[in-house]
Structure 1
Amino acid sequence: MTTRHEPSPPSRFSIAMAPQRTYESGLRVAPGLEHPLASCHCGAVCIALVSPPSEVTACNCSLCASYGALWAYYTADDIVVAAGARTDTYACNGQRVDFHRCSVCGCLTHWVPRDPRRGRRGINARLLPPHWLERARLRHRDGANGGEYLD
């Protein structure tokens, strides 16, 4: 019998951060990620976050509605993608962000802005352990009509 243990969030990253590489996307990649906190269905893409999200966003733009994602926003410094994580990307009409999905199981994992000056990244919160979302505030963004928050 296999038992799945949900990781507990570190107060700061508890993984070895060196050596690391920074890719064009601005995400830091650390080899040997010890505590995956968000992962795709097959486990090939694991993302460590500095803390559970305090809020998550449901966007109703055509792409986010199709994906069915809830977004947790972090800065590039607060995200570490495990080494060896292979993703495919998609940019809706060549727009401002690249959406990453696992190249093995196809789960949408995160988005990264194309403009390196933008610091915010989105992590698909549906890949986080459920107990991490219990206290998160759910926000609704009207991405289909200008991008304002509805609450």
Structure 2
Amino acid sequence: MLTAICHCGAVRVAVPRRPRSLTLCNCSICRRLGALWAYYPADKVRVDAAPGATHAYVWGDRTLRFVRCKSCGCVTHWEPLKRRPGSRMGVNARNFEPNEVAGARVRRLDGASSWKYLD
């Protein structure tokens, strides 16, 4: 297991393994967040936070919820509003220790227009 932890430690997101690749997206929300996403099957991710410790932001077509720590403000992950078999979650890899994601390939996603990887 590997755990992404917000700055103050109030939100912890546990995943089963190191990410093989990371996604840097330039869509309107991701470029503002500065997040670097690692994707995992939703049923393999465990979020540990006290009740009320997080705040969620939902926008656009209302399919995803972006979650941040209420205390320190770090965006920890996004999750689908409606989980279905095969749903995935995005975990903000910037909350892992740097050595835990060192060597992972960073892919650039054109989320601003084509929704295609640029590499």
Identity, % of aligned positions:
46
4+ aligned runs moved over 4 Å, structure 1: none
Aligned length: 117
Amino acid at match of 2:24: A
Whole-Å separation in 2 of the counterparts to 1:122 and 1:68: 13
> Gapped runs of 5+ residues in structure 2?
none
> Gapped runs of 5+ residues in structure 1?
1-9, 11-35
**Over residues 47-96 of structure 1, what are the superposed CA-to-partner deviations in whole Å (9 max), with x where a residue is unaligned?**
11111100000000011000000000001222111252621000123532
Aligned to 1:146: 114
Amino acid at match of 1:71: W
Whole-Å separation in 2 of the counterparts to 1:95 and 1:59: 18
**Over residues 108-142 of structure 1, what are the superposed CA-to-partner deviations in whole Å (9 max), with x where a residue is unaligned?**
00000123225110000000011111121100000
Aligned to 1:104: 71
Q: TM-score, normalised by structure 2?
A: 0.91
Greater mean alpha carbon deviation, residues 39-48 or residues 110-119:
110-119
Contact 1:40 1:105 in 2 (8 A): yes
Contact 1:63 1:92 in 2 (8 A): no
Aligned partner (choices 31, 34, 45) of residue 79 of structure 1: 45
Of Structure 1 and Structure 2, the greater strand share is in 2
Aligned partner (choices 65, 84, 92) of residue 124 of structure 1: 92
CA root-mean-square deviation = 1.5
Q: TM-score, normalised by structure 1?
A: 0.72
**Structure (1 or 2) with the larger CA radius of gyration:** 1
